[in-house]
Amino acid sequence: MDIVIFAATYCKHMKPFSFLLLAGAMLAVSCQQSGTTTDHTGDSTVISADTAAAATTSQPAIDLRCFTQTVGKDEASLFMKVNNDSVTGRLEYHRYEKDSNEGDFEGTIQNNILRLQYHFMSEGVTSTRAVVFKLAGDSLYEGLPASFNNQGEPVFEEDAARIKFDTTPFVKVPCP
């Protein structure tokens, strides 16, 4: 559909010969066959090997989800891509009159608990810290650390049932 709109817009400003050339190219591209062939002989159908291979190697579904949290003038957002039990994405904290930080994360999701390594930049310094979230429907709750290690990094309970979570959720929003 986009090609048709482009062609119609483009046609207003080009010579008729150019339009015929463009139309011919579009026709040629649309008529190309993919790498599959089917041979109908008698009552049986033979499918080529590359069609059979494509049917057996389907890609896992990737789930995109986006969340935001607003508390007063503080805002945070989380954009994640879930692929089976693997999670990657972006996390941004924009705190009013405080240093913001934003960066990428990767980790796992098991039983709706996300355990992530967050790589972020704040005040020109790159850091990494653990973060934990609990997914509950269309809400995401940030985990509160049980303690901090000698380097000041958060330490979370290994047992997910013992993790305490922030009461103000990140709420699901449409992804950009």
pLDDT per position as a tens digit, 103-121: 999 999 999 999 999 999 8
What's the whole-number mean pLDDT along residues 128-150? 96
DSSP 57: S
Q: Would you kindly state where each structural domain of the chain is located, as residue ranges?
A: 1-31, 62-173
pLDDT per position as a tens digit, 49-77: 444 444 445 555 789 999 999 999 999 99
> How far is it, in rounded angstroms, from Cα 81 to Cα 79?
7
Backbone angles phi, psi at 165, to 5 degrees: -125, 150
Q: Name the nearest CA neighbour of 73 among 103, 98, 91, 102.
A: 98
Element (H, E) at 65: strand 62-71
